[in-house]
């Protein structure tokens, strides 16, 4: 019976899509072009452009052990500040992609890229539903080509899935608040589970959820209110289930995550500042940074010009506010709540705000711009301005695309180096270390484990079993900064007194073979 219902639902959906395409052929063609461009920018030579360093290798190691050894995962990656850990949900999302790719690290990167294309479609669908066709086309087109969005859609990393689940969260709010589809509060809770396990800055979505949850509760009658509360409790249960592996890990390890989070906020987090004047200045700075990075390809001058091109029509919309229909007003209020709560939260952080920090905000400015385009596009002059603005931003974005640069070929270089290590090890066990400014052993270790190389990780408590007769050291620094026999790196120091037996230049870096000197 359930199978019949699923087939019926799929058939109904397919018929609906075919009917819509027949009724809107030009819009459908434009959407296909936008999605194809978005897919090309994200997938073209992805194996050569993707980032594959220590963090990516570490994640792949964890997921490979899940697939190969059935090792359950209760905790996700660590945060860059605060000594906290995320939940493991990204690892479970990686698993099917890594398995389908034959354990190649490219698989999870393709998964992230496809999710990025799905986000382009979601932005189109959301903007079109609440504003209209012009909004959908403009918002999706700009989101599809944004260099920052594209770059962070092109490799496997937990923050990179956040935009999709953030827009799903806000879409769910629209559904239960505006459309009265109360079951969507469960979807919102589930989506937030994914957002928070992508990056803890997703917490800045909570005020928006809270405000609109209260607004929904306030406008419902007694019967619907009871139903909404029931679904809200179910949503909390779903959220709790999604977060439970992290809770179990924390309980087993003396609540280290909870303690670290408490200390982070109590101590100011190494960058939290709640001064009103400083935060107000940071607010303006963050808005400029977001505009420049998302819409201007990081070109500061274009960022200011584009921001002016957004603020001027916004002022006009404020003056015409009473004449705007209710649905569009509500959509603007929702998107501005999302954006402003996020920027206010980020403005309390006094250190650099990296692009992935505001991944939960990525779709918001594009949806707002889509709404502006829809209102301006009601008149001929406005349409011309919208087309001009869109063409400008698309041109600036394409000019800032990563595809104009040579690919980093990090994975290929790592494969070349690990192949050389395996060749020179001659089947004997070995230890391994990396000397680098911004990298560590993870990526190399993953490929070595994947090829079943006899790599030993030194354990100070089991010295005799884990220290091999040879140590391979990859130095990614300038040759003058490579001195492996005197390096304080733990993996090298634990090997003991050593001497260099051989040296090779492989993939643009220096590979050393060290042996014991005594």
Check residue 266 and give its pLDDT.
64
Same domain, yes or no: 337 and 259: yes
Question: Domain for residue 260, yes or no?
Answer: yes
Which of 377, 402, 427 is the C-terminal boundary of a domain? 402
Element (H, E) at 75: none
Domain count for the chain, please give it: 2
Helices 276-295 & 363-376, crossing angle to 10 degrees? 70
Check residue 329 and give its pLDDT.
95
Q: CB–CB of 299/400 below 8 Å? A: yes
Question: Domain for residue 387, yes or no?
Answer: yes
The domain of 327 spans: 2-44+75-95+103-402
Question: Domain for residue 56, yes or no?
Answer: no
CA dihedral 317, 396, 118, 214 (to 10 degrees): -30
Question: Domain for residue 70, yes or no?
Answer: no
Same domain, yes or no: 397 and 421: no
Question: Domain for residue 461, yes or no?
Answer: yes
Indicate the length of the chain as a whole number.
Answer: 518
Same domain, yes or no: 486 and 460: yes
Question: Domain for residue 129, yes or no?
Answer: yes
Q: What is the DSSP string of 215-282?
A: HHHHHS-HHHHHHHHHHHHHHHHHHHHHHHHHHHHHHHTTTHHHHHHHHHHHTTTTTB---HHHHHHH
Same domain, yes or no: 438 and 369: no
* Structural tokens at position 382: 């406005």
Question: Domain for residue 123, yes or no?
Answer: yes
Same domain, yes or no: 336 and 231: yes
Same domain, yes or no: 132 and 167: yes
Q: What is the DSSP string of 103-133?
A: T-THHHHHHHHHHHHHHHHHHHHHHHHHT-H
Helices 162-177 & 206-219, crossing angle to 10 degrees? 10
Element (H, E) at 447: helix 442-450
Same domain, yes or no: 414 and 393: no
Question: Rounded to a whole number, what is the distance in angstroms from the first to the last CA of the chain?
Answer: 74
Which of 402, 418, 453 is the C-terminal boundary of a domain? 402
Rounded Cα–Cα distance for residues 134 and 141 (Å): 11
Same domain, yes or no: 354 and 446: no
Check residue 271 and give its pLDDT.
60
Which backbone phi and psi does 18 adopt, to 5 degrees? -60, -40
Same domain, yes or no: 340 and 422: no
Question: Domain for residue 153, yes or no?
Answer: yes
CA angle at 161 for the pair 418 and 363, rounded to the nearest 5°: 140
Same domain, yes or no: 490 and 363: no
Same domain, yes or no: 157 and 291: yes
Q: Which residue numbers in the chain have pLDDT < 70? A: 1-3, 5, 9, 80-82, 264-275, 278, 350
Q: Are strands 509-516 and 470-475 parallel, antiparallel or unpaired?
A: antiparallel
Question: How many other CB atoms are found less than 10 A from the CB of residue 104?
Answer: 17
Rounded Cα–Cα distance for residues 143 and 38 (Å): 8
Same domain, yes or no: 340 and 454: no
Which of 350, 379, 402 is the C-terminal boundary of a domain? 402
């Amino acid at each position: 019976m359930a199978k019949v219902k699923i087939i019926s639902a799929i058939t109904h959906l397919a018929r609906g899509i075919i009917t819509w395409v027949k009724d809107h052929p030009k819009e459908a063609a434009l959407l296909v072009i936008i999605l194809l461009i978005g897919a090309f920018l994200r997938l073209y030579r992805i194996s050569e452009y993707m980032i594959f360093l220590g963090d990516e290798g570490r994640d792949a190691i964890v997921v490979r052990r899940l697939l190969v050894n059935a090792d359950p995962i209760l905790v996700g990656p660590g945060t860059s500040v605060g000594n906290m850990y995320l939940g493991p949900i990204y690892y479970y999302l990686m698993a099917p992609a890594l398995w389908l790719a034959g354990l190649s690290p490219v698989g999870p990167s393709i998964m992230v890229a496809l999710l990025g294309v799905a986000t382009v479609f979601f932005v189109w669908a959301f903007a079109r539903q609440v504003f209209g066709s012009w909004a959908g086309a403009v918002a999706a087109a700009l989101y599809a080509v944004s260099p920052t969005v594209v770059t962070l859609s092109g490799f496997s990393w937990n923050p990179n899935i956040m935009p999709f689940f953030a827009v799903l969260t806000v879409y769910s709010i629209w559904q239960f608040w505006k459309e009265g589809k109360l079951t969507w509060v469960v979807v919102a809770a589930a989506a937030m589970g994914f957002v928070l396990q992508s990056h803890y800055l997703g917490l800045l979505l909570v005020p928006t959820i809270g405000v609109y949850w209260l607004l929904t509760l306030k406008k419902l009658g007694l019967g619907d209110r009871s139903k909404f509360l029931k679904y809200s409790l179910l949503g909390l249960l779903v959220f709790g289930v999604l977060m439970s592996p992290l809770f179990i890990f924390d309980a087993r390890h003396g609540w280290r995550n909870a303690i670290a989070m408490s200390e982070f906020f109590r101590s100011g987090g190494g960058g939290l500042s709640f001064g009103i004047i400083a935060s107000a200045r940071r607010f303006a700075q963050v808005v400029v940074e977001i505009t420049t990075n998302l819409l201007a390809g990081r070109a500061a001058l274009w960022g200011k010009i584009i921001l002016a091109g957004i603020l001027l029509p916004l002022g006009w919309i404020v003056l015409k506010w009473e004449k705007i229909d209710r649905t569009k007003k509500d959509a603007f209020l929702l998107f501005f709540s999302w954006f402003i709560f996020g920027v206010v939260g980020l403005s309390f952080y006094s250190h650099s705000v990296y692009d992935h920090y505001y991944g939960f905000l990525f779709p918001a400015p594009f949806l707002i711009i889509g709404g502006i385009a829809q209102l301006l596009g009601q008149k001929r002059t406005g349409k011309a301005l919208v087309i001009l603005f869109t063409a400008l931003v698309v041109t600036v974005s394409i000019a800032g695309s990563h595809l104009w640069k040579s690919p980093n070929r990090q994975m290929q270089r790592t494969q070349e180096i690990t192949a050389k290590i395996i060749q020179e090890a001659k089947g004997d066990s070995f230890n391994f270390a990396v000397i680098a400014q911004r990298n560590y052993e993870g990526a190399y270790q993953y490929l070595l484990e994947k090829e079943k190389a006899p790599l030993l990780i030194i354990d100070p408590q089991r010295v005799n079993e884990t220290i091999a007769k040879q140590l391979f050291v990859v130095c990614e620094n300038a040759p003058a900064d490579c001195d492996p026999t005197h390096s304080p790196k733990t993996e090298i120091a634990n090997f003991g007194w050593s001497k260099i037996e051989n040296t090779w230049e492989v993939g643009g870096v220096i590979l050393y073979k060290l042996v014991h000197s005594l």
